[in-house]
Copies of this chain bind each other. A is one copy, B any other.
Amino acid sequence: MIDHLDHVAVLVADLEAAVPYYRERLGLAVVTAEDLPEAGVRVAYLDLGGTLLQLVQPTRPGPIDDHLREYGEGLHHLCFAVRDLDDAAPRLADGDPGPVAKGGRDRRSCFLPQRPNGLHIELTELAPAPAR
């Protein structure tokens, strides 16, 4: 069902201020950085050797910004890569997985409504998507 851990997301208040620690102290390479206006975030991806660290800064009021204000910076969610999102998401969500959107790196993705052990789980489809 799950192919691998696509990324682990850390919520930050200021992306530009956060990146140097990971890039210069930890020596992680920045793979890409992008604005996701529909999600209301700006993200940077850093190479963790087979998976990615996603730093996420909210850019407008909404759930991500609310989370930052309430709980502060820190670990936010895990994103699992799946081969077929339309197959995996309803099965893992026990029904309607909620909206599928273009996430970072132009990947189709969605969040599961359940939070097993408090874990916020995103699914993203491996690109290119397999023929169906």
Task: Tell whether A28 is near chain B: CB-to-CB under 8 Å.
Answer: yes
B78 contacts A4, C-beta separation under 8 Å: no
How far in angstroms is the closest Cβ of chain B from A40?
A: 19
Q: Give how many copies assemble into the complex.
A: 2
Task: Tell whether A31 is near chain B: CB-to-CB under 8 Å.
Answer: no
- In the bound assembly, the distance between CA atoms of A100 and B5 in angstroms comes to 28
Give the one of A8, A22, A76 with max B CB within 10 A.
A8
> What count of chain A residues pass the 8 Å CB interface test?
36
Which of chain B's residues has its CB closest to A12's CB?
B117
Known: A25-B92, A26-B2, A51-B5. A18 touches B74 (CB 8 A): no
A3 contacts B49, C-beta separation under 8 Å: yes
| Chain B residues whose C-beta falls within 8 Å of the C-beta of A118 in the assembled complex | 10-11, 72-75
Task: Tell whether A116 is near chain B: CB-to-CB under 8 Å.
Answer: yes
